[in-house]
Amino acid sequence: VAACGGIAVLLVAVGVWLSWRPESEANDEFVAAIRNGEFIPYYQPVMDIETNRLRGCEVLMRWRRPNGMIVSPGQFMAYAENNGHIFDMTRHMMRVSVDEVGELYGENPDLKLSINLFAGHFLDREIVADIKSIFGKSAISFQQIVVEVTERHPLEDMDLARKIIAELQALGVRVALDDVGTGHGGMAYLQKLGVDIIKIDKMFIDTIGSDDNSTTIVDSMVELADNLGMGIIAEGVELEEQIERLLELGVTAAQGYHFAQPMPAEDFIAFAERTEKE
Ligand code: C2E
Ligand code: CA
Ligand code: CA
Ligand code: CA
């Protein structure tokens, strides 16, 4: 409890630190943190719940302060997005992933690597160029990459977003719609964007089994995904019962604290080696 309290106080302190500073000063320090490589990837395993084998991971950004404190995206992502820093940070994240897990991915061609993109990435073809240049000559192939588009922020230019998605798919990259059912897009996004995978939000997973409505919603998502030929990943799986329900509903890919939290590369590589041996 004391440790949690300490973390909460530190998190609030970072939030306050970002907000009370004169704007330009806070921004200079944020830019310096980017340049110092303080924003790093953590990796959360995505499991095949039928076989208990590793399918891959989702790359989740963390701010590692010089004092070693690890800050979650809830504390800085909105700032990074609103001030246009997210583009450099995403490039950095992808490059570091190649350095850190490239070898693991080269040796295990079935593993997938999910990268989170921001709605602003779909207003500009630069993301296609970045993915080509960063992964093109790397040990991680385009076929191993999944980009996640969130439904939480509106996509301002649907036609351009559709084109960018098609260009990524032409390379072999797959596209997942994240946070389905929580945001703006709904069915229209699924139909218009031509995504390959839908991710079911933790909100619906939390209550499957105990709440008939959630079960029905997840059931409809699975049916829809099947009809549209899309894959499905459940997120926020914390309990054994949830896995059982998901298997009954026909979902085979999941991530969540039940399996593992997001972790540094070294730990993820050890996790991968452990699961492959079992
Ligand atoms: P998201 O993409 O929906 O990522 C899933 C979030 O759920 C992660 O939070 C993950 O740590 C958390 N999570 C996974 N399993 C469980 C579980 O079983 N229980 C609970 N309580 N939580 C679980 P995180 O890492 O704090 O990231 C929050 C959000 O920040 C992400 O939500 C994503 O929208 C954004 N984000 C993270 N990294 C990046 C990034 O590199 N780029 C962009 N654009 N956004 C990012
Ligand atoms: Ca995501
Ligand atoms: Ca999500
Ligand atoms: Ca979520």
Contact assessment for residue 139 and residue 106, using Cβ atoms and an 8 Å cutoff? yes
Of all protein residues, the one whose alpha carbon is nearest to atom 11 of ligand 1 is: 262
Query: What is the value of pTM for the model shown?
Result: 0.92
Output the pLDDT for position 191: 80
State which H helix or E strand residue 162 sits in.
helix 158-171
Token pair recorded at residue 82: 């609103």
Does 196 sit in the ligand 1 pocket, CB within 6 Å? Answer: no
pLDDT, averaged in runs of 10, over the chain (278 residues) = 72 68 83 96 98 97 97 97 96 98 98 97 96 97 96 90 97 94 75 92 88 83 91 96 94 98 98 86
CB 49 near ligand 1, within 6 Å = no
Per-residue confidence (pLDDT) for residue 84, from 0 to 100: 95
Ligand 1 centre from 60 Cα, in Å?
6
Phi-psi label, residue 218: left if phi above 0, alpha if psi -120 to 50, beta otherwise: alpha
Q: Which residue type, as a one-letter code, is found at position 150?
A: T
Q: How far is the CA of 58 from the centre of ligand 3 (A)?
A: 10
What 191-197 contacts at long range (C-beta under 8 Å, 24+ apart), as own/partner pairs, is: 192/158, 192/162, 193/149, 193/155, 193/158, 193/161, 193/162, 193/165, 194/162, 194/165, 194/166, 194/169, 195/149, 195/165, 195/230, 196/146, 196/169, 196/230, 196/231, 197/146, 197/230, 197/231, 197/232, 197/233
- Cα–Cα distances in angstroms (integers) from residue 91 to residues 94, 131, 257, in the given order: 5, 8, 27
Task: Please indicate whether residue 86, judged by its CB atom, sits closer than 6 Å to ligand 1.
Answer: yes
Query: Torsion over CA of 269, 270, 271 and 272, rounded to 10 degrees?
Result: 50
User: What's the pLDDT score for residue 17?
Assistant: 66
Residue of the CA atom closest to atom 42 of ligand 1: 116
Ligand 1 atom index nearest CA of 89: 41
DSSP bridge partners of 112: 56
Q: Rounded to an integer, what distance in angstroms lies between the CA atom of residue 218 and that of residue 211?
A: 11
- Tokens 């540094």 map to which residue? 264
Coil vs helix vs strand at 21: coil
Ligand 1 in reach of 257 Cβ (< 6 A): yes
| Ligand 1 atom nearest to CA at 42 | 25
Cα 217–202–145 angle (5° rounding)? 100
Residue 72 CB less than 6 A away from ligand 1: yes
AA letter at 163: K
ipTM over 0.90: yes
* Gap from CA of 277 to ligand 4 centroid (Å): 30
C-alpha separations of 58 from 37, 40, 137, 259 in Å = 20, 13, 21, 13
**Residue 127 burial (C-beta neighbours within 10 Å; 0-12, 13-18, 19+):** buried
